[in-house]
């Protein structure tokens, strides 16, 4: 398959919502170690508001779909992750434009724009122990796999693996952004909750793309 349409993107959003709801307690446990124990609740609340918003049907164009997701997250999640994930989806939608499908390079460019939006908003850099540390390797791996001629399905699977590796690599880091940075050295030895939810974001993207092939 060379492209994904709004139905696959809608399936991604829905799978992400289901997964963060299933993993709510784990995400909250991670946040209780280095934050304020609300990341699971924040993500589950935001994505359930998104599901509610999309229950009338998936918007016809990629930008309408992703902008709706982004605006709903910004308005329904109070924590740092709401504006950050909200900006990610908004920027992704703006980059995609009023199209009905994305090919591999189009998906990679949209994800890159979403990542840039998170950086513009939160100023995170590599190694700050944030969602950036899972997302940047994921987007880089997608670009690299597509550049090597991988199929879209294989490329998003490689991106999901890189995001999971990036999540695991946050364990020893000392947080330099967000609430966890207040802990200083004591933030080391724990996974970053936002990196954990971002690995789920990429895993569910790979699942949605794989699901559409069969």
Q: Which is nearer to ligand ADP, 10 or 202 (CB)?
A: 202
- Which residues are within 8 A (CB) of 153 and not within 5 positions of it... i.e. 6 or more apart? 1, 206, 209, 210, 213
| Residue 36 binds Mg ion (CB under 5 A) | yes
Task: Select the residue interacting with ligand ADP from 112, 159, 194, 205 (CB under 6 A).
Answer: 194
| Residue nearest Mg ion (C-beta atom) | 35
The rounded distance, in Å, linking the Cα atoms of 171 and 203 is 19
The interface mask with ligand ADP, positions 113-152, x = CB under 6 A, is: -----x---xxx-----xxx--------------------
Q: Which residues pair with 102 in a beta bridge?
A: 4
CB 48 within 8 A of CB 21: yes
SS3 letters across 127-143: CCCCCHHHHHHHHHHHH
The rounded distance, in Å, linking the Cα atoms of 82 and 69 is 11
Task: Select the residue interacting with ligand ADP from 177, 200, 201, 209 (CB under 6 A).
Answer: 177
| Residue 38 binds Mg ion (CB under 5 A) | yes
Residue 16 CB, nearest distance to ligand ADP (Å)? 15
Q: Which residues bind Mg ion (CB under 5 A)?
A: 31, 35-36, 38-39
């Amino acid at each position: 398959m060379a492209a994904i349409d709004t139905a696959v993107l809608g399936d991604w959003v829905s799978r992400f919502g289901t997964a963060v709801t299933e993993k709510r307690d784990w995400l909250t446990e991670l946040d209780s170690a280095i934050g304020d124990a609300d990341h699971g609740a924040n993500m589950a609340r935001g994505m359930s508001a998104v599901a509610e918003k999309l229950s009338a049907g998936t918007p016809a164009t990629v930008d309408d779909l992703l902008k709706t997701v982004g605006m709903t997250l910004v308005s329904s999640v109070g924590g740092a992750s709401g504006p950050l994930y909200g900006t990610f989806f908004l920027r992704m939608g703006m980059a995609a434009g009023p199209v009905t499908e994305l090919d591999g390079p189009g998906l990679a460019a949209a994800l890159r724009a979403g990542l840039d939006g998170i950086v513009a908003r939160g100023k995170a850099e590599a190694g700050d122990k944030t969602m950036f540390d899972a997302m940047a390797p994921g987007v880089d791996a997608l670009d690299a796999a597509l550049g090597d001629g991988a199929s879209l399905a294989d490329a998003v699977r490689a991106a999901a693996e890189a995001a999971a590796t990036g999540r695991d690599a946050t364990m020893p880091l000392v947080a330099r952004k967000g609430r966890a940075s207040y802990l200083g050295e004591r933030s080391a030895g724990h996974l970053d909750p936002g990196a954990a939810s971002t690995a789920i974001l990429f895993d569910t993207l790979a699942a949605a793309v794989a699901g559409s092939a069969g």
